[in-house]
């Protein structure tokens, strides 16, 4: 390891902070973590590559925020409480000011969720950030994809489509409204909502690849189908006035939302609304789980709607 990389790790270590359950953090060959006896460890990893998962011109602090946010979103979708994370950085050059700015965003979000940075790796190469996040759930209490039941309501948190609308503007060389750009660069993982839904929801997933694509994962895992009423989709103030077909393209098929899509018994409708009352987000019922396989979306005239694409797929 070069002196420059050693210096970067020292900078990261100095700012990493403390968290319970860490017997050994940054500095040894590996971290040593104490999992409480009645909890299960939930582990997830996501990589962000420059130009693929964020536009090249994205500010380092936004990259830092987003690289943790996408992982916290996976913990949220499992109903887990964030506990620890690792950070693997591949950097074109050992640039301390870039790392400092990256940490501003990363550690801001880490502090908000009391997640401890306990290790990682620092190498030279094309800009790529890989985070592993670990969380805790009561044993047997995780929210899973494979538990949806026929007759369940389908719900979504927040206002999907904002990030996709911002990304489309950027790709076309236009400026996106600030509020939409914020949704793309600084997604808010729905951790509190996921926690409160455990015990109330049957199945849950976070929307990273598009609502219909991710709901299809729930349906395939659970051996069921779903019907979605697009007119029920909640839209942000920025998107509300956009012509519906265009808006639904972003809302139903656009990626990068990091909202939660979940299914639950109709008996739990009031409890779900109450449970999310004091979180940062509300949820809206948008359809139902049916026995016929596949996910179908319907427009205002109850006609089946054909999406322009089924969400963002790599390698297409
Ligand atoms: P090793 O050669 O044993 O893999 P490293 O020199 O890669 O050790 O890392 C030294 C210590 O610094 C380890 O505890 C590792 O987890 C931590 N570390 C390295 N890079 C990062 C990073 N980007 N973020 C957090 N911790 C890091
Ligand atoms: Mg290493």
Per DSSP, the residues of 254-301 read: ------EEEEE-GGGHHHHHHHTTTSS--EEEEEEEESSSEEEEE-TT
Nearest ligand to the C-alpha atom of residue 27: 1
At 314 the pLDDT is 45
3-state secondary structure of 33: strand
At 163 the pLDDT is 96
Average pLDDT, the chain: 94
| Cα-Cα-Cα-Cα dihedral sign, residues 25, 27, 30, 32 | negative
At 25 the pLDDT is 94
Count of Cβ atoms closer than 10 Å to residue 93 Cβ:
8
At 17 the pLDDT is 83
Helices within the chain (DSSP H only): 3-15, 60-77, 96-112, 162-171, 178-185, 191-197, 211-222, 237-240, 244-253, 269-275
| Mean pLDDT confidence for 255-261 | 95
> Which pairing describes strands 81-91 and 116-124: parallel, antiparallel, or unpaired?
parallel
Whether the per-residue pLDDT at 313 is higher than 90: the answer is no
| Mean pLDDT confidence for 26-36 | 96
Distances in Å between the Cα of 76 and the Cα atoms of 82, 142, 207 are 8, 10, 11
At 309 the pLDDT is 52
At 82 the pLDDT is 98
| Mean pLDDT confidence for 287-305 | 97
| Mean pLDDT confidence for 209-223 | 97
- pLDDT category at 308 given cuts 50, 70, 90 is low
177: phi then psi, degrees, rounded to nearest 5 = -55, 145
- Tell which atom from ligand 1 comes closest to the C-alpha of 87: 24
Going from the Cα of 91 to the center of ligand 1, the distance in angstroms, rounded, reads 14
Q: What percent of the chain has pLDDT over 90?
A: 89
Ligand 1 binding pocket includes 73 (Cβ within 6 Å): no
DSSP 305: P
At 57 the pLDDT is 85
For ligand 1, pick from 26, 33, 110, 131 the residue to mutate: most ligand atoms within 8 Å of CB.
26
305-311-315-316 Cα dihedral, nearest 10 degrees:
20
At 307 the pLDDT is 74
Whether the Cβ atoms of residue 75 and residue 84 lie closer than 8 Å to each other: no
**pLDDT for 142-193, tens place per residue?**
999 999 999 999 999 999 999 999 999 998 999 999 999 999 999 999 999 9
- pLDDT category at 15 given cuts 50, 70, 90 is very high
Least confident range of 63-67, 130-134, 308-312: 308-312
Ligand 1 binding pocket includes 120 (Cβ within 6 Å): yes
Q: Whose CA is nearest to atom 1 of ligand 1?
A: 29
At 236 the pLDDT is 97
Distances in Å between the Cα of 199 and the Cα atoms of 38, 194, 195, 264 are 17, 10, 9, 10
Tokens of 105: 């965003």
Whether the per-residue pLDDT at 246 is higher than 70: the answer is yes
The residue behind tokens 């697009």 is: 230
For ligand 1, pick from 8, 22, 121, 122 the residue to mutate: most ligand atoms within 8 Å of CB.
121
Cα 306 from Cα 103, distance rounded (Å): 42
The residue behind tokens 């190498």 is: 123
The residue behind tokens 């109850």 is: 302
- Tell which atom from ligand 1 comes closest to the C-alpha of 89: 23
Give which of 224, 268, 264, 311 is closest to 143, Cα–Cα.
264
At 166 the pLDDT is 94
DSSP 176: P
**pLDDT for 47-99, tens place per residue?**
999 988 888 889 999 999 999 999 999 999 999 999 999 999 999 999 999 99
- pLDDT category at 2 given cuts 50, 70, 90 is confident
């Amino acid at each position: 390891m070069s002196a420059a990389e050693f210096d970067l790790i020292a900078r990261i270590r100095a700012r990493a902070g403390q968290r319970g359950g860490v017997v050994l953090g940054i500095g040894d060959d590996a971290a040593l973590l104490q999992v409480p006896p009645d909890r299960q460890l939930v582990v997830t990893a996501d990589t962000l590559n420059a130009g693929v998962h964020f536009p090249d011109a994205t500010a380092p602090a936004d990259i830092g925020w987003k690289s943790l946010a996408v992982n916290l979103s996976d913990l949220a979708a499992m109903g887990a409480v964030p506990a620890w994370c690792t950070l693997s950085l591949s950097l074109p050059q050992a640039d301390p000011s870039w790392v400092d700015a990256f940490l501003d965003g990363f550690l801001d979000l880490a502090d908000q969720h009391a997640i401890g940075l306990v290790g990682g790796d620092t190498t030279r190469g094309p800009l790529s950030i890989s985070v592993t996040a670990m969380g805790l759930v009561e044993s047997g209490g995780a929210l899973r994809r494979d538990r949806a039941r026929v007759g369940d309501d389908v719900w979504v948190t927040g206002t999907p489509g904002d990030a996709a609308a911002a990304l489309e503007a950027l790709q076309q060389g236009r400026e996106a409204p600030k509020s939409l750009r914020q949704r793309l660069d600084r997604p808010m993982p729905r951790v509190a909502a996921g926690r409160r839904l455990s015990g109330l929801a049957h199945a849950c997933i976070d929307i990273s690849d598009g609502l219909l694509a991710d709901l299809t994962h729930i349906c395939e895992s659970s051996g069921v189908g779903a019907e979605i009423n697009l007119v029920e989709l909640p839209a942000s103030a920025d998107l509300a006035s956009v012509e519906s077909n265009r808006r639904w393209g972003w809302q139903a098929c656009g990626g990068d939302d990091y909202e939660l899509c979940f299914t639950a018994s109709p008996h739990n409708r009031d409890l779900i609304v109450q449970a999310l009352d004091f979180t940062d987000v509300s949820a809206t019922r948008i359809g139902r789980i049916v026995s016929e396989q596949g996910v179908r979306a319907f427009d205002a005239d109850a006609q089946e709607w054909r999406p322009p694409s089924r969400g963002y797929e790599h390698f297409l």
